[in-house]
Amino acid sequence: MLYINLFWSLLVIFLCFLSHNLIMRAINRTVSHVGKEIKAPKTISMIIGFLIYGFGIAIIMSIWNINLMPYLTGLGISGVVLGLAFQEPLTNFLSGVLVLVTRKVFEGEALDIDGISGVVDMVEMNHTRIKTFDGKMVLIPNRKVWSGTVTKFWPGPYRRVSFDVSVDYSSDLEKVISLLRRALEEEDLVVKDESVSNIVVFKEYGSSGITYTVYFWVDRENYFNAINALSARIKKIFEENNISIPYMIVDLRVSQKN
């Protein structure tokens, strides 16, 4: 009898594993066939696995004639203690469901959650895993994700970037603005689209020069390359047109008294 129960238990586990893989393959084929992609593959796989293996555990318990009701009834006052102990995980679980249903966050999304920035790796039952831009993995309780402030870095196909450019006080400012606009137009990695605008705006009269802020839009995959390319192009155009970029000069005077 023992070996028979063990055989059926192992068979149930194998069937759960097989069913999980077959369902995920069927979902991937169906989504691929209609030309779409799964937004949260890891999370969907986890939920389906949770349901299938949960059902499998129930079957295994029936095979071994395990009834939990006497144990649960015997807990008595301890049930209240357990209820309090599981209050936090239950809150996180329900918050995770709300996060998934409302699509507040999803896998692969670059965002900031209450000061923690990174890319969503996976929404789990209890936590949301965030892979930070410096390679760390941060687990944020789902209740904080649901109730916290979420800033999405790429709500659309483009993102605006800005950096400051300073020129010497002797520079022709109209020419400087014209050259900065020219750099924006000539740089291929800067997005030119009717839905966005790339502009040059005066910022301040600084201690060593006049500063302008360049605002421009980039594609996600070109984020860093566009910044480097535009900065190099601006410097080259300035050099060709004799526009000086100022740098700090320290004037040291020594006074000798007899």
Same domain for 22 and 63, yes or no, is yes
In a domain, 247, yes or no: no
Residues 91 and 2 in one domain: yes
Give the per-residue pLDDT at 63.
86
* Phi, psi for 68 (deg, rounded to 5): -85, -15
The pLDDT score that the predictor gives to residue 252 is 65
Query: What percentage of the chain has pLDDT greater than the value 70?
Result: 89
Distance CA 9, CA 17 (A): 13
5 shares its domain with 95: yes
Q: Is 0.85 surpassed by the pTM of this model?
A: no
Clarify whether residues 126 and 48 are in a common domain. Answer: no
pLDDT digits (tens, 9 = 90+) for 24-53: 889 888 888 877 777 678 878 888 888 899
Dist. CA 229–CA 186, nearest whole Å:
11
Q: What is the distance between the alpha carbons of residues 180 and 203, in angstroms, rounded to a whole number?
A: 14
Closest by Cα among 142, 131, 141, 37 to 97: 142
Rg (CA), the chain: 30
* 233: CATH: 3.30.70.100
For 15-31, the pLDDT digits (tens) are: 999 999 999 889 888 88
Buried/exposed 42-52: b ≥16 CB within 10 Å, e otherwise = bbbbebebeeb
Domain CATH code at residue 14: 1.10.287
Of 92-96, 110-114, 177-181, 240-244, where does mean pLDDT reach its minimum? 92-96
Domain boundary among 134, 152, 170: 152
Q: Report the range of poorest mean pLDDT among 74-88, 101-115, 213-227.
A: 74-88
Quick count: other Cβ atoms within 10 Å of Cβ 96? 23
- Any residues with CB less than 8 A from the CB of 69 and at least 6 apart, and which? none
Same domain for 184 and 114, yes or no, is no
**Does some domain include residue 134?**
yes
Same domain assignment for residues 218 and 167: yes
Regarding predicted confidence, which is higher, 20 or 74? Answer: 20
Average pLDDT of the residues of the chain? 88
Q: Same domain, yes or no, for 162 and 228?
A: yes
Phi then psi for residue 162, to 5 deg, are -145, 150
What pLDDT is stored for residue 137 in this prediction? 96
250 assigned to some structural domain: no
**Count: domains in the chain:** 3
Helices (H), 103-193: 142-147, 173-186
Judge whether 256 lies within some domain: no
Same domain, 33 and 91: yes
Query: What is the residue range of 213's domain?
Result: 158-241
With respect to residue 12, please indicate whether it lies within any of the assigned structural domains. yes
Max distance between CA atoms of the chain, in angstroms, equals 110
Task: Enumerate the H helices of 64-199 as residue ranges.
Answer: 69-75, 78-85, 87-102, 142-147, 173-186
Same domain, yes or no: 94 and 111? no
CATH number at residue 125: 2.30.30.60
Is residue 217 in a domain?
Answer: yes
* Domain end (from 152, 181, 212): 152
Write phi, then psi, for 106 (nearest 5 degrees).
Answer: -150, 165
Torsion angle of C-alpha atoms 80, 85, 90, 93, degrees rounded to 10: -160
Q: Within a domain: residue 180?
A: yes
